[in-house]
Chains A and B, each alone.
Chain A
Amino acid sequence: MTMDVAQLQRKLREHQAAMFQQGFLDDQFSQLQKLQDESTPDFVIEVITMFFDDSENLLKNMARCLEQVPADFKQIDAHAHQYKGSSASIGAARVKNVCATFRAFCEAKNQEGCMRCLSQLQQEYSLLKNALQYLFSLQQQIKAAGGSIPTQ
């Protein structure tokens, strides 16, 4: 039991460090973790879940707007702006950066650039979602094993 908990804790720390090192997360995510206390024990998961829902809706809407002829660049820009705000709030740095590039192409009404950014955005979101879900999975396992979740 002790070895399992220690191994899980080490895995969690390594995984989280890797996410920071590879740029998926930035300091804002640490701020988010600091807000979690006894009164709000699941604050991080709640915010991240909300982010996932928002992301999928926004990506779907942006794809639909791009498929229109002609494309509604103004609406797409609004969606990209919204997505940029969400990703910044949770510390998803790579997603936020792609949103910024996306908005530049929208302003320039560059259909090809927008298509490329949307594809990249979907890929970045998918990578981030998998990593965060693995993070939460490790946390759940540590809790189930009776250990304490280490902080950053």
Chain B
Amino acid sequence: MESCNCIDPQVPADDLLMKYQYISDFFIALAYFSIPLELIYFVKKSAVFPYRWVLVQFGAFIVLCGATHLINLWTFRIHSRTVAVVMTTAKVLTAVVSCATALMLVHIIPDLLSVKTRELFLKNKAAELDREMGLIRTQEETGRHVRMLTHEIRSTLDRHTILKTTLVELGRTLALEECALWMPTRTGLELQLSYTLRQQNPVGYTVPIHLPVINQVFSSNRAVKISPNCPVARLRPYAGKYMPGAVVAVRVPLLHLSNFQIYDWPEVSTRSYALMVLMLPSDSARQWHVHELELVEVVADQVAVALSHAAILEESMRARDQLIEQNVALDLARREAETAIRARNDFLAVMNHEMRTPMHAVIALSSLLQETDLTAEQRLMVETILKSSNLLATLINDVLDLSRLEDGSLQLEAATFNLHSLFREVLNLIKPVASVKKLSLTSHVASDLPMYAIGDEKRLMQTILNVVGNAVKFSKEGCISITAFVAKPESFRDARIPDFLPVPSDNHFYLRVQVKDSGSGINPQDIPKLFTKFAQNQSLTRNPAGSGLGLAICRRFVNLMEGHIWVESEGIGKGCTVTFIVKLGIPDRSNEFKLPFVPKVPGNHGSTNFAGLKVLVMDDNGVSRTVTKGLLMHLGCDVTTASSSEECLRVVSLEHEVVFMDVCTGLDGYELAVRIHEKFTKHQDRPLIVALTGNTKKVTKENCMRVGMDGLILKPVSVDKMRGVLSELLERRVLFESV
């Protein structure tokens, strides 16, 4: 300083300023050196911090800046060249590091801002989680309340207890001032205050159900806030001094009552609701919270479920009582049925022991008696006793098998039998009884009825005997006629049997039997009762004697034979006609032709006398000719025979009314018929011509009809068959005369 040319009076001012710079540079350097220390401290504190190398770079920058300021302390006086070199080096390094740091910060600042963003996100997330935790706690609290309330509500199946419990528990859980339940009245037009929490005696308060506030609540399934001043909420004067508490109302679904017959419950045809009203305490700042409203809604649903359970239980109890009564009645009916079964079994046992056994003895002794030396008359009587006993034994068996008849397990015993013989036997059995009562008994079996049939002969005979026996029994005088013939399809159109339209075929036919008497007759109203078994109606005009079993069994047998039976009577004193039709099979070997003329229902031809009737028989077979002649003579005819066509043509005369000719030998028979027609020019003068043949071919019948014969008979011919043929032929002659 001694070598410098400065003015001396300025030296104090320069020193003061220089001191200030010394101090500032010192503090700058001090600050620059302390910042890295702070950074290092906080980075160590932090577990994760990226960009450590950037921190080192930043620290270097700070340190170098501090160094430059520190070095400035020696630049205020004259300094040596060494100081100048150090200063230059420091400034160059500081420049380099500063630029590098500036460039690097451009790169990492966005990342640091992102870290900030994530921090904010995490904060928000934490806040959200905190709210959710609060909500979860609230819901848990609500759930606990609901479970407690549900347990209390559903711990009983009494409707009254359910409702009272609901109000009490809700009041306790929600700290209510009042809670009320309004129920619909029987008319369904009003709501009636039924239950309250605190008010002791609700006095029949009712409100119209169509109030707007009620419609609002009923139209929603949520708890609805309503005004404390509305009619369903104003239950009593205000207890508080300042303001009433908040009020909510909720609907409580009631049962669809038409599904349950609960008589003490108000009956409505459509679904309806009860109204539950809940009030918070007066003079409090409380408001309904969302979770409290949810609690109310859940409780309302639970109440509905509990009420349903109560109703179902009541219905079950009622059904149980009804079942108990029914079981008592069924047990009584079962005991009565068992008594009836025992009675029937006792009856059948008596029948078996007291009737069947003696009947077997009668049959056995009659058979033995038949073997002894008897006159013809005595033998006939014994045979009649034997047959009647057999039939009676059959009847007893049928009574014993009545259960089989009724449950349909009785089976007919089909076999080939002689149908004409069957009617003869019926007549032989009935004649003795009829003659005792001096009744005229006639029988006519149509000639076209097959000689043999397939069916249950025993039961068919039993049926006919039952019907004819009834006719004899109920006739004091007059005549009884039996007629049997093949039922024609047109006869099935009878109004009495509208559903009975079977059709005969080559394998079967329908036998029609008609029994007519001139006895006491029946009231038409009583006819349906005739076929009821064991029913002896005293109002019937016929004698009440007998079991009434015969016609019932007859109908069952006829039905089993695929037929029908009915009774006709014009009234009391006008006789009775019983008709039945049964289906019978046609055995192959007895397949007879039907005669070309249609047989009519004749009168009493049973006693027809052919005395003096002149008949000519032409048959080249001596044995057959003799048999046919004997048969006709037995009927009272005056018989002439011819052994050839020529002889027949020579012998036949106006006196002969019927000519029987055998047509088995070639065309002789047919030629003879033609020539007989030629011989008698006048139609009414010529005799009736009947073919005798053993040929069952259809062409034979066609040939007979083509040459103008009046009939065809299949050989062999029985007495009854011939009798029927002659009756029909003679009647037909009358028809010819009327033409």
Chain A 25-46 near chain B by CB (<8 Å), digits 1 or 0: 0011001101101011001001
In the complex with contacts A27-B421, A91-B716, A43-B630 CB distance below 8 A: yes
- Is A47 among interface residues, defined by CB-CB distance under 8 A? yes
Residue of A with least CB distance to B634: A35
Q: Are A31 and B694 in contact (CB under 8 A)?
A: no
Chain B residues contacting A50 (CB-CB under 8 Å) are 622-623, 626
Chain A 1-19 near chain B by CB (<8 Å), digits 1 or 0: 0100110011000000000
Q: How many Å from the CB of A132 to the closest CB on chain B?
A: 13
Q: Are A148 and B375 in contact (CB under 8 A)?
A: yes
Chain B 604-648 near chain A by CB (<8 Å), digits 1 or 0: 000000000000000111111011101101100000000000000
Chain A residues contacting B662 (CB-CB under 8 Å) are 85
In the complex with contacts A35-B631, A81-B664, A90-B623 CB distance below 8 A: yes
Find A89's partner among B372, B633, B634, B716 (CB 8 Å cutoff): B716
Q: Are B373 and A46 in contact (CB under 8 A)?
A: no
Q: How far is the CA of A51 from the CA of B633 in the complex (A)?
A: 20
Residue of A9, A31, A91, A147 with most partner-chain B CB within 10 A: A31
Chain A residues contacting B164 (CB-CB under 8 Å) are none
Q: How far is the CA of A81 from the CA of B621 in the complex (A)?
A: 10
- Is B665 among interface residues, defined by CB-CB distance under 8 A? yes
Q: How far is the CA of A90 from the CA of B630 in the complex (A)?
A: 12
Find A148's partner among B376, B421, B633, B715 (CB 8 Å cutoff): B376
Q: Are A81 and B622 in contact (CB under 8 A)?
A: no
Q: Are B627 and A47 in contact (CB under 8 A)?
A: yes
Chain A residues contacting B373 (CB-CB under 8 Å) are 2, 5-6, 9, 147
Interface size bucket, B side? 20 to 34
Find A84's partner among B633, B694, B719 (CB 8 Å cutoff): B694
Chain A 85-97 near chain B by CB (<8 Å), digits 1 or 0: 1101111000000
- Is A150 among interface residues, defined by CB-CB distance under 8 A? yes
- Is B718 among interface residues, defined by CB-CB distance under 8 A? yes
Chain A residues contacting B375 (CB-CB under 8 Å) are 148
Residue of B421, B627, B718 with most partner-chain A CB within 10 A: B627
Q: Are A81 and B665 in contact (CB under 8 A)?
A: yes
Q: How many Å from the CB of A37 to the closest CB on chain B?
A: 7
Residue of B421, B628, B694 with most partner-chain A CB within 10 A: B694
Residue of B with least CB distance to A29: B716
Q: How many Å from the CB of B188 to the closest CB on chain A?
A: 91
Q: How far is the CA of A5 from the CA of B379 in the complex (A)?
A: 15
Q: Are B715 and A35 in contact (CB under 8 A)?
A: no
Chain A residues contacting B624 (CB-CB under 8 Å) are 85-86, 88-89
Q: Are B623 and A54 in contact (CB under 8 A)?
A: yes
Chain B residues contacting A54 (CB-CB under 8 Å) are 621-623
Q: Are B421 and A86 in contact (CB under 8 A)?
A: no
Q: How many Å from the CB of B579 to the closest CB on chain A?
A: 29
Q: How many Å from the CB of A84 to the closest CB on chain B?
A: 7
Q: How many Å from the CB of A131 to the closest CB on chain B?
A: 17
- 19 A–B contacts from the bound complex (CB under 8 Å): A6-B372, A6-B373, A9-B373, A10-B371, A28-B716, A31-B631, A31-B716, A31-B718, A47-B630, A50-B622, A50-B623, A54-B622, A54-B623, A81-B665, A82-B621, A88-B624, A89-B628, A90-B623, A90-B627
Given contacts A35-B627, A82-B621, A89-B716, 8 further A-B contacts (CB under 8 A): A6-B373, A31-B631, A31-B718, A40-B633, A54-B622, A85-B694, A89-B627, A90-B623
